[in-house]
Amino acid sequence: MSRFVLVRLMESMIVLLIMSFVIYALVGLMPGDPIDLMINSDPKLTPADAARLREFYGIDKPLTERYLAWLIAVLGGDFGNSRLHARPVLDVMGPFLVNSVNLMVLSFVLSLAIALPAGIYAALNPHSRTDHAINLLCFAGISIPVFWLALMLIITFSVILGVLPASGVATVGGGGFLDRAMHLILPTVTLTVFSVGHYTRFVRASMMETLRQDFIRTARAKGAGRTRVVLRHALRNALIPVVTIIALSFGTLFSGALITETMFAYPGMGKMIYDSIMGSDYNLALIGLLFATLLTLLANIGADIAYAWLDPRISYKQGGASS
């Protein structure tokens, strides 16, 4: 197993290296540069200023040259400075990351806490009224546009009822644990509503598929109780595709909550990455996106390990998987 993890980690490093170039090139190939944007917002900026600033920020150099300089610096432990925030990239990213971790972990745990029982219940009682109700709610969660839901939540709980803060991470000037928790509620609910629909559907489908398998019938024939059959035999097997989906969505959980973060003025990774791309802040955009890539890769390694735990037939001994 340890050899398997080591090989996967090395593969991940290669993927990261390739991704770093792809991301750098994509950001670099976007039309215009930050100086163009500055020219449009400052009537006093002269063409001479623009040329000087392009040289100062190194934007006048070819893309590959810039990338290589960046890569050498990163390999030497220097992640560079954010052009937009005029501070080291890791210093800038820190608070955004903490905010995202709070939001995502909470939303993720809540989603699973709702999706697992709801999906299992729906699978065990297919075509029942409750199953239909769960399906309806799932489709509603998947279909409702995130920005609209966010706005409705703000209007309901902040404007009409006035019981929850509409934006931010905490009340200005600090705020304790409870205050921060209050600020997390609406963004968490928004994200959870969206992801819980997906997860529930996956759990339901996977569980129904597993319940039709021969080994479940065998377990029942052996006299195993309903709870034991569901939790011990069916669920573990049903979770394998669910784990895959969760692992794949892990990176997007950190970088893809842009709309939610924008609507709630919540300074998280998604908004940070978006702003850095739009502002041609190469260093920050790269590190942010690479971090999301790394999370996805690590989550997938975690998923591979989880497969072995969930299904003893899966083995990572030399010679590949066997069943």
Partner 1 sequence: MLRPLALALCLLVSLALAAPPAARAAVKDELIIGMTQFPSTFHPNIDSMLAKTYVLSMARRPFTIHDKDWKLVCMLCTKLPTIENGLAVPEDLPDGKKGIAVTYTIRPDAVWGDGTPVSTKDVLFTYEVGRHPQSGVAAGELYRRILKIDVKDAKTFTLHFDRITYNYNDINGFDLIPAHLDRPKFTEPAEYKNRTVFDTDTTNPGLYFGPYRITEKVTGSYVVLERNPTWWGKKPYFRRIVIKVIGNTAALEANLLSGSIDYIAGELGLSLDQAIAFEKRHGKKYNIRYKPGLIYEHLDVNLDNPVLKDRRVRRALIYALDREAISQQLFDGRQPVAATFVHPLDWIYTPDTPRYRRDLKKARALLDAAGWTVKRKGVRTNDAGKRLAIELMTTAGNRSRELVQQVLQSQWRDIGVATRIRNEPARVYFGETVTKRKFTGLAMFAWLSAPENVPRSILHSKEIPTAANNYSGQNYMGYVNPEVDELLEAIEVELDRDKRRVLWHRLQRIYASELPVIPLFFRADAYIMPKWLKGIEPTGHQYPTSTWVENWRAER
Of 92-121, binders to partner 1 (CB under 8 A) are: 92, 95-96, 110, 113-114, 117-118, 120-121
- Judged by CB under 8 A, the chain residues 199 through 258 that form the site for partner 1 are none
Q: How many residues sit in the footprint of partner 1 (CB under 8 A)? A: 76
Work out the burial of residue 74: count CB atoms within 10 Å of its CB; fewer than 13 is exposed, 13-18 middle, 19 or more buried.
middle
Which CB, 155 or 248, lies closer to partner 1? 155
Contact characters 257-276, partner 1, x per CB under 8 A: -----xxxx-x---xx--x-
Which CB, 222 or 226, lies closer to partner 1? 226
Q: By CB under 8 A, which span of 25-33, 61-69, 71-79, 286-294 interacts with partner 1?
A: 25-33
**Amino acid, res. 134:** I
Which CB, 67 or 121, lies closer to partner 1? 121
Task: By CB under 8 A, name the one of 16, 39, 106, 240 that touches partner 1.
Answer: 39
Which CB, 33 or 311, lies closer to partner 1? 33
Which CB, 1 or 37, lies closer to partner 1? 37
CB of 8: closest distance to partner 1 in angstroms?
34
CB of 188: closest distance to partner 1 in angstroms?
9
- Judged by CB under 8 A, the chain residues 125 through 184 that form the site for partner 1 are 130, 147, 150-151, 154-155, 157-159, 161-169, 171-173, 181-182
- Judged by CB under 8 A, the chain residues 47 through 86 that form the site for partner 1 are 47-53, 55-56, 81, 84-86
List the structure tokens of 290.
């690479």
Q: By CB under 8 A, which span of 46-54, 248-256, 294-302, 303-311 interacts with partner 1?
A: 46-54
Task: By CB under 8 A, name the one of 3, 10, 40, 145 that touches partner 1.
Answer: 40
Q: By CB under 8 A, which span of 37-45, 63-71, 100-108, 202-210 interacts with partner 1?
A: 37-45
- Judged by CB under 8 A, the chain residues 182 through 201 that form the site for partner 1 are 182, 185, 189
Q: Is 30 in the site for partner 1 (CB under 8 A)?
A: yes
Task: By CB under 8 A, name the one of 1, 17, 25, 32 that touches partner 1.
Answer: 32
**Mind spelling out the 3-state secondary structure of the chain?**
CHHHHHHHHHHHHHHHHHHHHHHHHHHHHCCCCHHHHHHHHCCCCCHHHHHHHHHHCCCCCCHHHHHHHHHHHHHCCCCCEECCCCEEHHHHHHHHHHHHHHHHHHHHHHHHHHHHHHHHHHHHCCCCHHHHHHHHHHHHHHHCCHHHHHHHHHHHHHHHCCCCCCCCCCCCCCCCHHHHHHHHHHHHHHHHHHHHHHHHHHHHHHHHHHHCCHHHHHHHHCCCCHHHHHHHHHHHHHHHHHHHHHHHHHHHHHHCCHHHHHHCCCCCHHHHHHHHHHCCCHHHHHHHHHHHHHHHHHHHHHHHHHHHHHCCCCCCCCCCCCC
How far lies 65's CA from each of 13, 61, 71, 72, 82, in Å? 22, 7, 10, 11, 19
